[in-house]
Amino acid sequence: MGRSKRSNNKPNAGKRSQTGGWKEVEKENVKWETYYKQQPIFKNDEEFETFKKFCKEGLPLTFRFTNGNNITTNNDRQKEILGLFKEKILPNLDNVEYETEVIPAPVTIPWYESDEVEDILWQYNISKTIIRKKDQFKKFQQFLVMENVLGNIARQELVSMIPPLLLKVKPTDRVLDMCAAPGSKTMQLLEFLHSTEKATGFVMANDADFKRSHMLTHQLKKINSPNLIIVNHDAQFFPKLFLDNDHKNFMSFDKILCDVPCSGDGTMRKNVNVWKEWTIQGGNGLHQIQLNILKRGLKLLTCNKYTKDTNELIGNEARLVYSTCSLNPIENEAVVAAALREFNNDPYNIKRGEKIRLLDSSKDLNGLKRVDGIHWWKVFNREADELAEYDETDEKCVKMNKSMWPPTKEEIEEFKLERCIRVYPQLQNTGGFFITAFEKYKASEENAPKRVKIDENEDQEALAPSATTEPIKKSRMPRDFNEEPFIFLPSDHEVIQSVADYYQLSSDFPRDTLLVRNASGQPIKSIYYTSPIVKNVIQTNEQRLKLVFAGVKMFIQQSAMKSTPENNIANVTARFNWRIQNESLPHAMKYMDLEKNNLIFKTSDKEFIKACMFHNFCRYEALFKLDPAFKTYIENVTVGGCAFIYFDRKGTDAESKENLMVPVWLGKNCLNFMINKELQTELLYRLFELKFEDIKAMQEKEAKEAKLKSTVVEISSVDNTPAPESSEQTEQE
Ligand SMILES: C[S@@+](CC[C@H](N)C(=O)[O-])C[C@H]1O[C@@H](n2cnc3c(N)ncnc32)[C@H](O)[C@@H]1O
| CA distance linking residue 432 with residue 266, whole number of Å | 4
Asked whether the predicted pLDDT for residue 101 surpasses 70, the reply is: yes
Strand partners, 440: 356
Which among 424, 415, 421 is positioned nearest to 436, based on CA atoms? 421
Q: How confident is the model at residue 655 (pLDDT cuts 50, 70, 90)?
A: low
Higher pLDDT: 637 or 411? It is 411
> How big is the chain by its Cα radius of gyration, in Å?
28
Determine the pLDDT at residue 727. 30
Task: Report whether residue 183 contacts ligand 1, using a CB cutoff of 6 Å.
Answer: yes
Burial 515-534 (b: 16+ CB within 10 A, else e): bbbeeeeebeebbbbbbebb
What pLDDT digit, counting tens, does each position of 576-601 carry?
A: 889 999 999 999 999 999 899 999 99
Mean pLDDT of the chain: 86
Other beta carbons within 10 angstroms of residue 651's beta carbon come to 8
What ipTM was reported for this prediction?
1.00
505 burial level (CB within 10 Å; 0-12, 13-18, 19+): buried
Asked if omega into 60 is within 30° of 0 (cis), the reply is: no
Query: Which value, to the nearest 10 degrees, does the dihedral of the CA atoms of residues 94, 99, 101, 104 take?
Result: -10
Other Cβ atoms closer than 10 A to 166: 18
Active-site amino acid positions = 325
User: Does the structure show a pLDDT above 50 at 452?
Assistant: no
Whether residue 371 has pLDDT greater than 80: yes
Taking residues 549-554, report their average pLDDT.
95
Q: CA-CA distances (angstroms) from residue 675 to 93, 584, 680? A: 31, 12, 6
Contact 192, 219 (CB under 8 A): no
Nearest CA to ligand 1 atom 13: 179
Query: For residue 484, what are the contacts with CB-CB under 8 A and spacing of at least 6?
Result: 517, 518, 519
Q: Determine the Cα angle at 178 with ends 177 and 183, to 5°.
A: 55
> How remote is the CA of residue 213 from the centroid of ligand 1, in Å?
9
Q: Is 234 in the pocket of ligand 1 (CB under 6 A)?
A: yes
CA angle 363, 369, 370 (to 5 degrees): 80
Q: Which residues are CB-contacts of 16 (< 8 A; sequence separation ≥ 6)?
A: 22, 23
Best of 155, 203, 207 to mutate for ligand 1, by most ligand atoms within 8 A of CB?
207
**What's the confidence (pLDDT) of residue 732?**
23
What's the CA gap between 188 and 164, in Å, rounded? 6
Q: Which of 203, 209, 238, 293 gets mutated to test ligand 1 (max ligand atoms within 8 A of its CB)?
A: 209
The per-residue pLDDT for 478 is 52
Residue type, 207: D
Number of alpha carbons in the 13 Å side-chain half-sphere of residue 457 = 2
For a pocket test of ligand 1, which of 179, 267, 326 has the largest count of ligand atoms closer than 8 A to its C-beta?
A: 179
Q: Is the pLDDT of residue 498 over 70?
A: yes
CA atoms within 13 A on the CB side of 600: 19
**SS3 for 549?**
strand
Q: How confident is the model at residue 95 (pLDDT cuts 50, 70, 90)?
A: confident
Residues 541-571 as b/e (b if ≥16 CB within 10 A, e otherwise) read bbbbbbbbbbbbbbbbbbeebebeeeeebee
The reported pLDDT for the residue numbered 731 is 24
705: pLDDT confidence band, cut at 50, 70 and 90? confident
Whether the predicted pLDDT of 529 surpasses 90: yes
Residues 6+ apart with CB under 8 A from 719: 556, 581
The mean-pLDDT minimum among 197-211, 361-375, 519-533, 615-629 falls in: 615-629
DSSP 86: I
Q: If you measure from the C-alpha of residue 566 to the centroid of ligand 1, how many angstroms do you get, rounded to a whole number?
A: 50
Query: Domains, the chain, ranges and CATH?
Result: 61-155 (no CATH), 160-463 (3.40.50.150), 593-733 (no CATH)
Residue 405 is classified by DSSP as: S
CA angle 570, 713, 499 (to 5 degrees): 20
Q: Is the pLDDT of residue 713 over 60?
A: no
Q: How far is CA 329 from the centre of its chain?
A: 28
Inter-CA distances, 681 with 135, 690, 696, 716, Å? 21, 9, 8, 11
Q: How far apart are the first and last CA of the chain?
A: 62
From 665, 686, 676, select the one nearest 714 (Cα to Cα). Answer: 676
Q: Is 187 in the pocket of ligand 1 (CB under 6 A)?
A: no
Does the Cβ of 258 fall within 6 Å of ligand 1? no
Q: What is the mean pLDDT of residues 305-314?
A: 89
- Band of residue 20 on the pLDDT scale cut at 50, 70, 90: low
Examine the pLDDT at 690 and tell me if it is beyond 80: yes
CA distance 298 to 346: 12
Task: Look at residue 97 in the predicted model and tell me its pLDDT.
Answer: 87
Which ligand 1 atom sits closest to the C-alpha of 259? 6
Cα separation, 642 vs 618, in Å, equals: 15
Tell whether the model's pLDDT for residue 445 goes beyond 80: no
Give the largest Cα separation in the chain, rounded: 90
Q: What angle do CA 350, 353, 357 make, to 5 degrees?
A: 85
- Assess whether the C-beta atom of 209 lies below 6 angstroms from ligand 1: yes
Query: CA of 162: how far to CAs of 111, 166, 269, 388, in Å?
Result: 10, 6, 18, 34
Q: Mean pLDDT, to the nearest integer, of 524-553?
A: 95
- The whole-angstrom distance between residue 236's C-alpha and the CA centroid of its chain comes to 22
* Ligand 1 atom at minimum distance from 209 CA: 25
Q: Which residue from 198, 197, 215, 195 is spatially nearest to 207, judged by alpha carbons?
A: 215
User: Which residues touch 138 (CB under 8 Å, ≥6 apart)?
Assistant: none
Q: What is the pLDDT of residue 636?
A: 87
CB 259 within 8 A of CB 163: yes
For ligand 1, say whether the CB of 214 is within 6 Å of any of its atoms: no
Q: Is the CB of 72 under 6 A from ligand 1?
A: no
Indicate if the pLDDT at residue 458 is higher than 50.
no
CA of 586 to the centre of ligand 1 (A): 31
Check if 207 has its Cβ closer than 6 Å to any atom of ligand 1: yes
How sure is the predictor about 459, in pLDDT bands with cuts at 50, 70 and 90? very low
What number does the ligand 1 atom closest to the CA of 324 have?
Answer: 1
User: Can you tell me the distance from the alpha carbon of 7 to that of 127, in angstroms, rounded to the nearest whole number?
Assistant: 7
> Whose C-alpha lies nearest to ligand 1, atom 10?
261
Amino acid of residue 301: L
Q: Are strands 107-108 and 121-124 parallel, antiparallel or unpaired?
A: antiparallel
Kindly give the distance from the C-alpha atom of residue 260 to the centroid of ligand 1, in angstroms, as a whole number: 6
Is the Cβ–Cβ distance between 302 and 318 less than 8 Å? Answer: yes
Quick check: 721 pLDDT over 60? no
The predicted model gives 169-183 an average pLDDT of 97
pLDDT at 657: 86
0.80 exceeded by pTM: yes
Q: Are the CB atoms for 366 and 162 separated by under 8 Å?
A: no
Q: What distance in angstroms lies between residue 276's CA and the mean position of ligand 1's atoms?
A: 22
Positive or negative, the CA dihedral 691, 693, 695, 701 is: negative
Which atom of ligand 1 lies closest to the CA of 177? 6
Q: Which of 31-45, 389-403, 442-456, 681-695 has the lowest mean pLDDT?
A: 442-456
